[in-house]
Amino acid sequence: MRGFFGGEQQPRPKICPACGALVGISAKRCHECGASLRFSLAALSKKFSGLFGEQETPVTSALLVANFLMFGVTWIF
């Protein structure tokens, strides 16, 4: 109960941001996909895909971003 109310807490295992596998406390790379647990482009891509939904249409997402950028440019001018 002491850990529940703010006492000492045990270190917890990490979850790989790229593939979602459970990895060890002191691991620096995922044993499933090999991604770095500090920074990986796969994890960054996965976070951005959540922003636009789980689509398999990268061209549509790119056009959407381009439209927002052009809207911003025209709004400024």
Q: What pLDDT score does 55 carry?
A: 58
Task: Say if 14 falls within a structural domain.
Answer: yes
Task: Say if 47 falls within a structural domain.
Answer: no
Task: Say if 36 falls within a structural domain.
Answer: yes
Q: What pLDDT score does 71 carry?
A: 96
Give the count of domains, the chain.
1
pLDDT along the chain (77 residues), means of 10: 62 78 82 75 66 67 90 93
Task: Say if 13 falls within a structural domain.
Answer: yes
Q: What pLDDT score does 66 carry?
A: 94
* 12-21 b/e (C-beta count within 10 Å ≥ 16 → b): eeeebbbbee
Task: Say if 35 falls within a structural domain.
Answer: yes
> What is the C-alpha separation between 48 and 46, in angstroms, rounded?
5
**Domain of 31, in residue numbers:** 8-40
Q: What pLDDT score does 6 carry?
A: 61
